[in-house]
Amino acid sequence: MGVAEMRMLRWMTGHTRKDRIRNEEIRKKVKVAPIEEKMRENRLRWFGHIQRRPMDAVVKQGDMVQVPGVRQGNGRPKLTWGAVIEKDMAVLGINENLVLDRYEWRKRIHIADPN
């Protein structure tokens, strides 16, 4: 994901890899945050939205669905939505209890674009 992002940003600024300009410098020039961080922000914003919904909301019930009789394939287990969210919260140093305070949650997960 980051490679495609940098290719587009280099194209936008007219630079190539041969110019040997660091990714951080190009991001500063275009004034954008890394796409991985913005994706984390969006996942956590959606997670907060779901957690604040009432228990009978369809979107909240879909999070807890267990399909009986489904066998897991070979190899490493797939990364679950919950595992990704836990990792995202650990990276930002926040916990799930904060989600009920919408203002504080948004403030803590917001990734600002560099100026």
Residues for the chain: how many in total? 115
Assigned domain for 73 exists:
no
Regarding whether 95 and 57 lie in a shared domain, the answer is: yes
Of 39, 44, 49, give the one whose Cα is nearest residue 89: 44
Residues 25, 41, single domain; the answer is no
Query: Per-residue pLDDT for 57 more than 90?
Result: no
pLDDT tens-digit series, residues 66-112:
667 777 778 888 888 888 999 999 999 999 999 999 999 999 999 87
Give yes or no for a contact between 50 and 59, defined as CB atoms under 8 angstroms apart: yes
d(CA 61, CA 111): 29
pLDDT at 55 exceeding the cut of 90: no
Residue 98: CB atoms within 10 Å: 16
pTM of structure = 0.76
Instruction: Tell me if 21 is assigned to some domain.
Output: yes
In single-letter form, the type of residue at position 102 comes to R
The rounded distance, in Å, linking the Cα atoms of 78 and 12 is 35
